[in-house]
Structure 1
Amino acid sequence: MTTPSSPSSPPSRRALIALAWLWVGIPFGYGLYELTQKATQLFTG
């Protein structure tokens, strides 16, 4: 099981965690944006 990261974790680990969130979050956000654009077109004609 994983434990929540403590504020005293080394900066390199925090940078790696931030990079991992960006690696997943940016494509996810883009996908949501595209989904809303296409759903709007679908339902508004």
Structure 2
Amino acid sequence: MIRQAKRSFSRLSFYFLLWGILLTVAMLATYPLIDLDPAVRHGMP
């Protein structure tokens, strides 16, 4: 049972890593936009 959990986690760890990278890229992409458009800071209606 533990062996199966280790294999399952090792397969899913790639997706966790990819999700973290995508979130980091999205955060870094929106950070400069905050200064450009005030609507980004307050949310778009």
Give TM-score scaled by structure 1 length.
0.63
- Give structure 1 stretches of 5+ with no counterpart: 1-9
Report sequence identity in percent: 8
Moved over 3 A (4+): none
Q: CA RMSD in A?
A: 1.3
Where is the helix percentage greater, Structure 1 or Structure 2?
2
What do residues 1-40 of structure 1 show as CA deviations (whole Å, max 9, x unaligned)? xxxxxxxxx2221111111221100011011011001101
Larger RCO (CA under 8 A, 6+ residues apart): 2
Instruction: For residue 4 of structure 2, give the secondary structure of its aligned residue in structure 1.
Output: helix
Which 5+ residue runs of structure 2 have no aligned equivalent? 37-45
- Aligned residue for 2:2? 11
SS at match of 2:24: helix
TM-score (norm 2): 0.63
